[in-house]
Structure 1
Amino acid sequence: MSQSLIVFRTSGKVEYQHNNKVHAFNEFIGTIVNETAVELDSNFFTNTVNRKKFYAFQNSEHDTYVALYFDGVVTLDGNKVKSTLQSILKTFNKYEEEEINMEKFKSLADLQFNQLMKTKTTSIGEDINSNSSTPLGGAPRSGAPNPLTPTTTDKRKTAPGKKLRKWNGDEIDDSDGKILDYSNDAPEKVESANSNSNSNPNLLSTLTVDQGAFTKENELVLVKELNELLEDEEYESDEEKTVETSKFGSIFSKFSSYFTGTVNLDEVSKKFYDQLVSKNIAPQTATSIISRIKEKLQSKSNITLTLYRQTLIDELTKILTPNVGTDLLYDIKKNKLGRPYVISVVGVNGVGKSTNLAKLSYWLLQNHLNVLICACDTFRSGAVEQLKVHVNNLQQLNNVESTKIDIFEKGYGGGDHVVQTAKLAIEFAGNNGFDVVLIDTAGRTHSNAKLMAPLKKFGEAADPNKIIMVGEALVGSDSVEQAINFNNAFGSKRKLDFFIISKVDTVGDLVGTMINMVMATKVPILFVGTGQTYTDIKRLSVKSVVNLLMK
């Protein structure tokens, strides 16, 4: 059975094609022009021409179409077809606007097209407008599988009782007896603990790893990249823009019912103050922001709601936009200090320091850097073992030749032990070809001066190139004091360099913690944590955060 897909302009220029049968689309395009094609939904068309079934979706804003056809008796879910075509156009517009390598678009378009073709059936009877399928690249409906999670249908009868299940190739393996715990097989770590190495190894479990799943062009990696692109609010579909415009329109109308035309500055300020606080921005921070807006607008006459809103958007954007360089890779690769590049990770208990340190390690590995993780959380029970598990996982996941990751640890001990461990780790890394040393530190209560005091001594001894604080998106108002106290903990000559904001995927549009921490310290956000896998770390999109705050 043959099938083909093209992206083309209304001028007739073909921008992309999957397979080489472009000529077959001519008659179908004619039915669209002559308005004889069936319009299933807004900008979504279908027709059957010469025993071939065609579909097309139009992006009127960008003057582009995407169309597909297949011959033979097949049935596809109409909603899935529309969603796929819409997503392909969205992907095309994104890569075209940024004028970057279109080869990546071709990979993502081919992926979406091939995924759609896998859903076709060879019998007739399925309603073309059925709502039973999950749109490719969209959020799964209730009860639907995650698009990144492998699923299959196990046709074998289920035996009574529960069995251990694992993936074996392309299907579920129900065989008994094997536990997915490879911690006993982990390679021996350098400088392993002495007196603290007798903990039960079966308590340490690691991920099973499909090595191929982390290659750059592998389908799982492309799916993840595609999902991130389609979730990016900077590239909303026409339908999403209509919904968002409608939402804003209703808000605008509600305000306008109180303030027709020109608005009262104090009253509209109160409304937007409430909006900011509702997004997890601390009251004192929201007050400061609104005061700035009022100061900028008080000399103007005929202040409108639109002007006020845009001024607030500009102010939030300014707050989150870094005023220092955030190209960490560039800094690492230009390092000429004669020792490895040292990064220390600090934060409050439970915010995810070790997890985000592991994500950062994986990012560095994928950028061809050798990483040594130093276990300087020598207070919390199990902290060293937790890092060993992460390192074991990352060693298995690492698919970049000639790069390596390992752990340096000296067991558990007090403050002097921490300083000595950090110094030895840096020396070891320099002698063994490591580019970066990532130092994990103990979590500490920011309001406890006794616990915070050792950070100054540690900073002076380790002298890290960068100090990164992990802050939690869930915290809210307390994030202001956390950021200030950690920023001041290293003394007058040394401050925090970056934030990583963890657990952003858990708060929806309540992302005010980012504003709290940046505004309190002037320290920029380097990454945000968006999930529980090593690839769930993203550069901050200022525009996306501001959109969420104004939503």
Structure 2
Amino acid sequence: MSQSLIIFEPSGKVIYQFNNKISPFNDFIYSLVNQTCTELDSAFSTAAVAQKRFYCLQNDTLYAALYFDVVSTLDSEKVRLCLDGVLKTYSKLCEDDHAKMAKLIEFQFQTLVQLRLTLTDAEGSGERPVSKASTPVPNLGTSTPVKGKKSTPSKKMRKWVNGELVDAVDDGALDYSNAADLLSAAEGTGAAKVQLNQAAFEKQDNLVLLRELNDVLGDAEDDEDDEGDKDGSASGVTSGFFSKISSYFGASVDINEVSKKFIEQLISKNIAPATAAAIIEKIKARLSSKTVTVPVFKQALTDELTKILTPNVSTDLLHDIKKRPLGRPYVISVVGVNGVGKSTNLAKLAYWFLQNNMSVLICACDTFRSGAVEQLKVHVNSLKNLNSGSARIDLFEKGYGGGDHVVNTAKLAIAYGAAENYDIVLIDTAGRTHSNAKLMAPLKKFGDAANPDKIIMVGEALVGTDSVEQATNFDNAFGNRRGLDFFIISKVDTVGDLVGAMINMVMATKVPILFVGTGQTYTDINKLSVKRVVDMLTS
């Protein structure tokens, strides 16, 4: 393992270094100059270059940068604090006491290195196992119960009764996943049948495709407004953001003044301030003039946002699945922060695959959250009863356990899927806080072992500016050799036109959006309409 730290001037001249291995910084500085790094905020950047993870912090006159030879899931805020301390130490002591300065910088850097090594050593331990109940884990799906483990007494439940804390009486099991009425909807008895919006799908060349997102995000774009924008007049702009700056239309104004207005507009749409500033700076550099008209600036912004959201890789999953090698199912893993809707969107994918006559095996690798396996079983039972074709859908699970248990379950599921000729294995994973390095670290081991064909992160449309660090940390968690492949943005139906989180996540990682989730049923999933989203961000 190697790691190094340097302090350098804007010209690129290195004025302090810790460790002699500084040649890799050449490539990083080149990416910094060419603005290909990921900006975590306006003065803090990161990039993966030559299988090394670099971080760089800038103050008024200097840069401090460091790298590790293997990507570890470190909280980026800890890296930032370290680099900030290094810059302050250098600025204060470089002229008065060089020896003391060097010792303090070395101490700060080595403290961060030690934290990284501790997390790397802990990677194999996995997530903290959940507490076992007094009864053994039931045998669900295709798995067998875990053997050889002693059951431990369950913690007593208590409740307040008339101002006094008393032991709660066990009113019965809370797991209803095996209840007969679970299947009543599809069987036509008891509860009403599940209502699905089949209009979300369209058939083309014997394939069932998802429709583009449009209605959920609001009314279709106004053609008259578009015509007004094209000819540079303000006649078509009667409401929204452009009504506020209508006095600028038809006249050239200072580009910095217009830039400030557009930055405020983007931030109001949930785009992170640093991301909004970076977008506007690119536009200013492209226009390279001191004055500009608002319609010209808006068109440049529209082009830039369209470029950001337009995928530069194929998003045709059906094509990729059909051309997979024989003898192995196509493996897709779904990851994300707690509560974003991973299991729900995984079930939506499964339903879509079933409509295309593809057999699906869902693997329960969320072995941390109590009830996660049972939740997937409910989804699988519902999908079985909604499925009218010949394709199969089943659940593979091995109960609950720690990090090694997750890896083994994934391997067994893929082997089982190959043996039973499933087309697709969908792997659910435990939700985890993106800033908790201890919980994020096992993702690399999981990714190396399962080696999924695609890793999809589910992110919330309503998460706001924290989406930058969420996306970056999950993309980095799998190591230098691979990262996220796609995003599914959930809960788009809850945010109106505040869809800036999409820009945050895509711009931070260069990972495209595959689908967007728009509700709770299995057909509430759509392709992204780039034009519609851009229109909403600029109106």
**Structure 1 length-normalised TM:** 0.60
- 1:289 aligned partner, one-letter code: I
Alpha-carbon separation, structure 2, partners of 1:378 and 1:539:
30
Query: In structure 1, how many angstroms separate the alpha carbons of the residues matched to 2:283 and 2:223?
Result: 31
Q: Determine the C-alpha separation between the residues in 2 that align with 1:474 and 1:549.
A: 15
Aligned position for 1:503: 491
For 2:411, the aligned partner's letter is K
Which residue of 1 is the match for residue 402 of structure 2? 414
Verify the 8 A CA contact 1:348 1:445 in the aligned structure 2.
yes
Q: Which of 170, 176, 183 pairs up with 1:202? A: 176
Structure 2 residue identity aligned to 1:512: G
Report the residue type matching 2:506 in the other structure. Answer: V
Amino acid of the structure 2 residue aligned with 1:485:
N
Displacement, 1:239? 9.1
Summarize the alignment of residues 429-444 of structure 1 with structure 2, pairs less than 5 Å apart: 429-444=417-432
- Give the 3 Å change call, closer, same or farther, for CA 274–313 of structure 1 in structure 2: same
- In structure 2, C-alpha distance between the alignment counterparts of 1:437 and 1:237, rounded to whole Å: 43
| AA partner of residue 283 (structure 1) | P
User: How far has the Cα of 1:221 moved from its partner?
Assistant: 2.6
> What is the aligned partner in structure 2 of residue 143 from structure 1?
none
Match of 1:532 in 2: 520
Q: Which amino acid aligns with 2:498?
A: L
Closer/same/farther in 2, CA of residues 222 and 258 from structure 1, 3 Å limit: closer
Do the aligned residues in 2 keep the contact of 1:342 with 1:465 (CA within 8 Å)?
yes
Mapped pair 1:394 → 2:346: no
Q: CA RMSD in A?
A: 3.3
2 CA distance for matches of 1:469 and 1:227? 20
In structure 2, do the counterparts of structure 1 residues 376 and 247 end up closer, same or farther at CA, with 3 Å as the change threshold? farther
Using the TM superposition, give the Cα deviation of residue 317 of structure 1 relative to its aligned residue in structure 2, in angstroms: 0.2
Name the counterpart of 2:344. 355
Correspondence for 2:198: 221
The CA distance in 2 between the partners of 1:350 and 1:366, in whole Å, is 27
Q: Aligned to 2:262, which of 269, 272, 287?
A: 272
Asked which structure has the greater RCO (Cα within 8 Å, sep 6+), the reply is: 2
1:369 aligns with 2:321: no
Q: Which runs of 5+ in 2 are unaligned?
A: 1-138, 152-171, 189-194, 203-210
**1:319 corresponds to:** 308
> Is the 2:364–2:397 contact (alpha carbons within 8 Å) kept by the matching residues of 1?
yes
Describe the superposition over 1:338-389 as per-residue Cα deviations: whole angstroms up to 9, x where unpaired: 3111011111111111111111111111111100000000000000000000
Structure 1: gaps of 5 or more residues: 1-186, 213-217
Tell me how far 1:399 sits from its aligned partner: 1.7
| CA distance in 2: counterparts of 1:527 and 1:227, whole angstroms | 9
Counterpart position of 1:55: none
SS at match of 1:248: coil
TM superposition score normalised by structure 2: 0.61
1:231-250 deviations in whole A, cap 9, x for unaligned? 67795577998999977335
Pick closer, same or farther for the CA change 1:282–1:208 going to 2, 3 Å. Answer: farther
CA distance in 1, matches of 2:369, 2:408: 18
| Change in 2 beyond 3 A, CA 1:371/1:219 | closer
Q: Does 2:306 match 1:329?
A: no
- DSSP 3-state at the match of 2:237: helix
Residues 256 and 263 of structure 1, relative CA distance in 2, 3 Å threshold: farther
Number of residue pairs matched by the alignment: 358
Q: Letter of the aligned partner of 1:319 in structure 2?
A: I
| Equivalent in the alignment of 1:261 | 251
The 3 A distance-change label for structure 1 pair 424 and 357 is same
Partner of 1:68: none
In structure 1, give the amino acid aligned to 2:258. Answer: V
Match of 2:443 in 1: 455
Once residues 288 and 229 of structure 1 are traced to their aligned partners in structure 2, the CA distance between those partners, rounded to angstroms, is: 28
Partner amino acid for 2:284? K
Does the C-alpha gap of structure 1 residues 365 and 240 become closer, same or farther in structure 2, counting only changes over 3 Å? farther
Go from structure 1 to structure 2 and tell me whether the alpha carbon gap of 1:204 and 1:386 turns closer, same or farther (over 3 Å shift). Answer: farther
- Match of 1:172? none
Pair 1:211–1:539, CA change in 2 (3 A): farther
Does the Cα contact within 8 Å between 2:212 and 2:528 map onto a contact in 1?
Answer: no
- Corresponding residue of 1:295: 285
Distance 2:196 2:411 in 1: 42
